[in-house]
Amino acid sequence: MKNLDRITFDPNVMGGRPCIRGLRITAGTIAGLVASGHSHAEILKLYPYLESEDITQALKYAAWRAEEIELPLHPA
């Protein structure tokens, strides 16, 4: 997906999982925190080295990945 310049992939960081700016915090962790009800302000307090745009891009990445996964159709 274009315009996700803060989402990085490095096999030496978190096993190559999508991370925020090469840091040891994954996009999935951020998306999970938001899904659990944490506000952006709470997340930024928990991880002071993050920026608001990091959270936004983690959510955009998670939404894009959710749309890209194809599941097999099973007859009802």
User: Taking 80 as the threshold, does the pLDDT of residue 68 lie above it?
Assistant: no
Q: Give the pLDDT confidence of 12-66 residue by residue, as tens digits.
A: 999 999 999 999 999 999 999 999 999 999 999 999 999 999 999 999 999 998 8
Domain residues of the chain, as ranges? 7-65
Indicate whether this model's pTM tops 0.75: yes
The one-letter code for the residue type at 23 is L
Can you name the CATH fold of 7-65?
Answer: Arc Repressor Mutant, subunit A (1.10.10)
Contacts 24+ apart (CB under 8 A), 50-54: 50/20, 50/23, 50/25, 53/6, 54/6, 54/20, 54/21, 54/30
